[in-house]
Structure 1
Amino acid sequence: MRLGAWVLSGTLLLAPLGVQASETLADIRQDMSVLFVELQKLKRELSTTGPSTVALPAGALDRINAIEAELQRLTAKTEELDFRVGQVAEDGARRLGDLEFRLCELEADCDLGSLGRVPTLGGEAETSAPVAQPVPQTPGTELAVGEETDFRRAGEALAQGDFQSAADQFATFRQTYPGGPLEAQALVAEGRALEGLGNLRDAARRYLDAYAGYPDDAAGPEALWRLGAALGDLGNVAEACVTLSEVAGRYPGSTAIAEAEAQKARFGCQ
């Protein structure tokens, strides 16, 4: 009978919702819209226009109404989550853009007009002019010939406290292997060398470039807490506290959280 077919159809439609964990919010919302339409059809099948000899199971309409109410609740929830994800992405982009602007203000030769809009986190950039994006690190990418050797040599100079040589070598490394798999680590290491030379402004710029360009790289947590510490040492304590507080939320479980908390205590962050 038609009623049995509708019930079977509804059951089959509901089943995938629990297993398709990789679907986006938009996909889930679309599935819910389809289910809602099917429920409306099913309710019309259950609504009689006159006497009928068909006996419906007790409470069938109540159960369908309950399913409909739950679908409406889940639809509202996905809309709320979609909005919150968008807000978090936009807020993160605004914070990164503000940090870049403030760092530029600290540099005597920095052109504020040359700064592009920071891309929305997890989305595309909303810019009036194209913003150059670094090539993301790909797990398993092979290093170029001599790349690992050059990186290790620069790292040894940093470990030995030869900050000028380390800064020069890491800068040359990034020019020689632009966008390579060690780019983020080279930026952080160059920043550390610049800090050793007392050049906090350029060090903060390297940390920002490492975090903004490669937030998911293994060097991301260190880049973020060192950026916060550099901002604080440059006198921007409020911005430093905000940046350091982002470490725990952005990289839960990271060892960088302890470093960030230590820096927050040093600056008296609330």
Structure 2
Amino acid sequence: MTRSRLVLPALAIAVLATAVPSAAQTPLPATPAEDPLDARDARRVERMEKVVRELRAIVFQLRDTGKPVVVQPADTDARMQELSDRIGDLEQTLRRLNGSLETATFELEQAKRDNAALKTQIQGLADRLAAVEQAAAQATPAAGEEQAAAPGSEGNPTEAFAKARQLMLAGDYDGAEAAFAGFVQTWPDGPKSPEARYWWGKTLSVRGAHAEAASAYLGAIRGWPQTSWAPDAVVELARSMVALKKPQDACRTLAELPKRYPKAPANVTSRATATRTQAKCA
């Protein structure tokens, strides 16, 4: 705050203090008839008396304290108000900046959380895919090895496959099971081997051999072949998992169906929906 210092010379103030009060203390006439001054002169005298009193107070303060007398400028209140207004403006600006900073910080944290959630989701999908592929890779033809050599296991693979299919269409599931098992044993890497494993799994499911059926279905869909029977093999694998009380594996298998076979027939997708309900998939 700006202050102006006014140090009054002791000698001049003393003169004012001794000379002016004598005139100021002179009694005025008591009645208007004896008053030689008009109303305007009377007010002027009153102002002069006020100034004299203030000067005397300053002189006495200087005499008693021995310190310079500080006289406050007339516009001190105005300047204080101006400074107060400026401080208020600065506080409002600071509040706005703080609000903007808090908003930016919140948006940044939200973006970080969204990014982390997206990474988790991607990792979850990758893990599910890896689990299904690992299960398919670990599948063993143990059930097939236990089967005895079936009719048609020798000779032409096309004829052997057709004979096994004919047995199944005729309702001879035991004969079809033996025929497809023999086919897989004889031609494990043949072009018809995945489909033979699929039909073999069907015959195993009919007699409730769910573990052997799951192994056959896994062998059938290894590599996710783009064939007409592959989507149904995925659903049958999930159904076997449910029967084996492995609902999580069933759900992981069903999760791959729309990604691997987006154009699966309606009857397959409806069975997949029913199986998902049985497994209580999320």
Short-chain TM bin:
0.3 to 0.5
Bigger relative contact order (CA 8 A; separation at least 6): 2
User: Structure 1 or 2: larger helix share?
Assistant: 2
Computing the radius of gyration from Cα coordinates, the structure with the larger value is 2
TM (norm. structure 2) is 0.45
